[in-house]
Structure 1
């Protein structure tokens, strides 16, 4: 597969990921037509090292598949996690809504996998409000592992949808399919002992970052 045409391979990656030429051109710091011209017109003949490296890390592929030479440095190191323009506790929203994409933030892939996280299942959203203070503050970015929605439930902080409202809360498991929705800030109410089926779990919060 290393001998596959780099242009055709990149074009397939773009189609499969749902990205577009202009967005990827911006990602590598070029004009909006750069990637389209490379794929459709063969200009430039080869992707420069910097642009090739950015795309390889973005898609999580070996640089050789994009026309690079074999080297230890060609292995992917960073994964760009989508940051979505929705906020927990901000009202209706969906983490898979492509129209809410606000940008992407790079994380070391080895670190993510060491935490037991699959990069493809991760999204970043903003915390709105202070109901989870001091654990989470208004404006914090949180990383949400969407695979946790299908995994075995355990106590922790989750992004949930309740009555069409997207919120971040602490969940505690109760008996016979019951659970409690808890706010870390004592000034806000809890919802103890409710039916688990009434809560839609979007994902588990696995990381938080804040501006100082």
Structure 2
């Protein structure tokens, strides 16, 4: 008999829950940090240019979301788009209708997508496909065509994620943005599928500053953390951020 359960990192029964509020803040901060890096400017410079003082982005990083007009002005300055309305999609995502609801088909992130990766999936796994409601993606700010399915290649993230578990990735999150640690030094890591010298694995990823990226496993005893500084970061290729996974128990 096979028992299955899945883990949704962003699920909640409430329209506005603490978890969804944090998700919104994290996504916004990821977008802002990436734009700052791309433009080569500091958070202080951007804040002063938008509101005349250096506290705007500092407040966002502290979890204090400013008014919509300030967010829109900041996004305009960074060359981003602030949009609130009916979810918009670009590109083409396969879909199906089930009992009147529209589901997006999440494609497998195939072996050909990896450069030198030694990951191999079973034939029955490759034949699988998963469908998710489009509004499930919309609530998370993810376009369905940016989602990919993958299978955990090892047990380095056990017991959280085990070899063969089904993962769904947001393939737009690569590389991860800089996310400084909290005031009490707590990590602000996300789970990514990442290649290290061509070897593919699933890891917690922390990027406290531009100078280093730290990979660590759920299974700390057998997999100590790896830090990549300077040019060593070029050894890493990020395939996407894990947003959902499903685990099957063999009994």
Q: Please give the range of the TM-score, normalised by the shorter of the 2 chains.
A: 0.5 to 0.7
1:167 has 2:192 as partner: no
Whether the aligned pair in 2 keeps the contact of 1:85 and 1:102 (CA below 8 Å) is no
Q: Aligned ranges for residues 38-187 of structure 1 at < 5 Å?
A: 59-60=94-95, 73=100, 77-84=102-109, 86=111, 92=117, 102-149=127-174, 152-154=177-179, 155-186=189-220, 187=222
Matched residue of 1:205: which SS? strand
Q: CA RMSD in A?
A: 2.9
Cα deviation code 1:101-141 (max 9, x no counterpart): 53321111111211221110111111122111122112210
Show the counterpart of 2:55. Answer: none
C-alpha distance after superposition, 1:69-107 (max 9, x if no partner): xxxx4xx61111113465xxxx7169xxxxx95332111
* Inter-CA distance 59–199: structure 2 relative to 1 (3 Å threshold): closer
CA contact (8 A) 1:174 1:193 kept: no
Shift of 1:202: 1.2
Which secondary structure does the structure 2 equivalent of 1:111 belong to?
helix
Q: 1:200 aligns with which of 221, 237, 240?
A: 237
TM-score scaled by structure 1? 0.55
Q: Deviations over 1:57-80 (max 9, x none)?
A: x73499xxxxxxxxxx4xx61111
Number of residues of Structure 1 aligned to a counterpart in Structure 2: 135
Where does 1:4-15 land on structure 2 (aligned, <5 Å)?
A: none
Q: Which has the higher contact order (CA 8 A, sep 6+)?
A: 2
* Maintained 8 Å contact 2:191/2:205: yes
Secondary structure of the 1:131 match is: coil
User: Structure 1 stretches of 5 or more lacking a match?
Assistant: 1-57, 63-72, 95-99
TM-score, length-scaled by structure 2: 0.47
